[in-house]
Amino acid sequence: MRHVYGVANRKGGQGKSTTVSTVARLCALYGARVLVIDLAQPGTTTSSLRDIWPDREHSDLSSAMMSFHLLPPGSAPAPELALAALEAVALPVELASQPSWSGGSIHVLPWDEMQSDAAAHFLSERVLEGFIAALAPQIDLTFIDFPAEGGPLMTNALIASDHIIVPLIPETPALEGLEAMLRLLTRVRASGHPINLAGILLTRCDQKNKRVFEIVQTIRQSGEVEGEPLGRRLYPYAVRQTEFYEQAFRYGEPIWERTQDFAQWAAYVLLAEQILRESGLERLTRTRRGPALMPPETRIFDISVLLPANSEVMLGDFEKTHATLRA
């Protein structure tokens, strides 16, 4: 069974790349074999992994994609042909493993500036799906950093994905990006592809900002939108507003290399564990280690608590309240 998570929002600057790179690192830390596909200009996810990038040459994903530009609509590349096309450009790039990963790994199909141009020549919407299927025997989880713009590349990303995570900054304009994404999912499902909204992740949240809680209320009271019960799709944990993510991306390293405060990335630990469980990899979540080894006093930004003064709770209390997250 495939476990392909697209991280998408039709509005830029919502934390897609931060989410992909941080969760990919954490899933590898737990022991998962992870594939990252970077389709988002200007390749922030790719550059954010510089600290573990190997010193070897590779060519472009767009070159491999162009091998199948004449593939008929509705057809996916045969696995052996997809593998051959990837091998010809020395992809995916296997990142430098770390001892704490316990058998986990990260492989990357990196962004290049010709991806959108290559996809514009496609007849088939299943080229990317074919690449993922060909790599499936050596991969447990796939994360796709979606392009912000529409077109054939976006269509290929949607058809290749089983689940969509929507990062969302708690601002009113960002809701328009969420609504546009939901309309896209409706059209994809209508075409026969069973894609689902895995969850909405609030990012860049400040406990002192009342707007966070107004956005939470708006989402919860919206009922069903495009067939999705949005209130139930809202993850109860939120990513904090912090300058450390920007610093980490500038130097191409994880946030835990910039600060020792577990609370800064705790939401991503909880998200990584939830994804692993949903993907049948629950056994990997039984032992936290390294940056995932959060002490009991780690403060979690709990958006299920609508009073700002009570929104920071200790990890142990949060997990008791939301016991199903670790069920």
User: pLDDT tens-digit profile of 229-266?
Assistant: 888 999 999 999 999 999 998 899 999 999 999 999 99
- The distance in angstroms from the start CA to the end CA of the chain is 21
DSSP string, 58-69: ---HHHHHHTTT
Pairing outcome for strands 93-94 and 4-7:
unpaired
**What confidence score (pLDDT) does residue 296 get?**
92
Please check whether residue 29 is in contact with residue 106, taking contact to mean a CB–CB distance below 8 angstroms: no
One CATH from 3.30.2130.10, 1.10.3720.10, 3.40.50.300, 3.30.390.50 for 4-326: 3.40.50.300
Q: How far is CA 218 from the centre of its chain?
A: 24
**What confidence score (pLDDT) does residue 197 get?**
95
User: pLDDT tens-digit profile of 206-226?
Assistant: 888 888 888 998 998 888 888
What is the DSSP secondary structure assignment for residue 106, as one 8-state letter? E
What is the DSSP secondary structure assignment for residue 9, as one 8-state letter? -
Strand ranges across the sheet with 163-168: 93-94, 105-109, 33-38, 141-145, 4-7, 163-168, 196-202
* Cis check: omega of the bond before 152, within 30 degrees of 0: no
- Reported pTM: 0.95
All residue ranges of the chain with pLDDT < 50 are none
Q: Which residues are bridge partners to 144 per DSSP?
A: 6, 37
Q: How many residues does the chain have?
A: 327
**What confidence score (pLDDT) does residue 159 get?**
96
